[in-house]
Amino acid sequence: MKQQAVTVGGPCWVEHGSSDPDGAKVFYGELFGWRAEEIDAPPEAGDYTFMKLDGAIAAAVAPLYGEEQPTAWSVSFAVDDADASAARITGAGGSIVVEPMEALGLGRFVVAADPSGALFGLWQAQSLAGLQVLNVPGALGWVELLTRDPDGARAFYPAVFGWTVRPSEVYPQWGLADADFGGMLTMDDRFPPQVPPHWLPYFAVADVDVTVFRAGNLGADVLMPPTSMPDGPRIAVLRDPQGAAFAVHLAGAEG
């Protein structure tokens, strides 16, 4: 990720929605060195927790808010007007899952889906711009859309966010003013049909192989072992003990 701070249009938040928030806090605390800090929130907000890396917000952990909500990571993008952005989403063929809402004076958020069904969030900052650390070991370093409709995604996301698309038959990359922050992977027969399109967060690490080894000892499953990508970083994809998929990449080698 070439962005070192939250930028309007770029990724600004990652949240682990979990059936076992306490277990998630322990797992990621051990894996990435995060420390949990619960926020002062009304009971209906549940046990919402900031996960901090050296005192800076690196992610959040939240309980599940609905019976059908799976344990999973979600990715949100910064916008300067949540309502206008929601209108662009529906105008481009997407849908709104959670209408624009206030979030404890911190900001205004939306949950949306692209035309293929991949969920993502919007965040209009008030007192909190978003993640306070990016692209260092233990922090978000990349986001990836996995989709069965790459042509539709190429049309949808630039229309909503103004993203640039670095063309590639294998792995197109998303950016803002050509500062890339993510990519797109076409889901093929390797993906079971029950796996929906989704956004996958990548966390930067100092050593991919060591991180995968430690994750396994902490109860994670390895979905893709450490692999050096052609002209790209070394990466791996994991599933945490709660069932949420995430990826790691070698810090400083993304993009």
Task: List pLDDT tens digits, range 5-25.
Answer: 799 999 999 999 999 999 999
- 140-250: in CATH 3.10.180.10: yes
b/e 207-224 (16+ beta carbons within 10 angstroms → b) = ebeebbeebeebebeeee
pLDDT score at 46: 62
pTM above 0.85, yes or no: yes
Give the residue range(s) of CATH 3.10.180.10 domains in the chain.
Answer: 11-125, 140-250
pLDDT at 40 over 80: no
> Average model confidence (pLDDT) for the chain?
93
pLDDT score at 47: 80
pLDDT score at 5: 79
Q: What is the pLDDT averaged over residues 186-199?
A: 93
Return d(Cα 247, Cα 202) in angstroms, integer.
4
pLDDT at 2 over 70: no
pLDDT at 132 over 60: yes
Looking at domain 11-125, its CATH architecture is Roll (3.10)
R_g (Cα) of the chain, nearest Å:
17
Q: What is the pLDDT averaged over residues 175-189?
A: 92
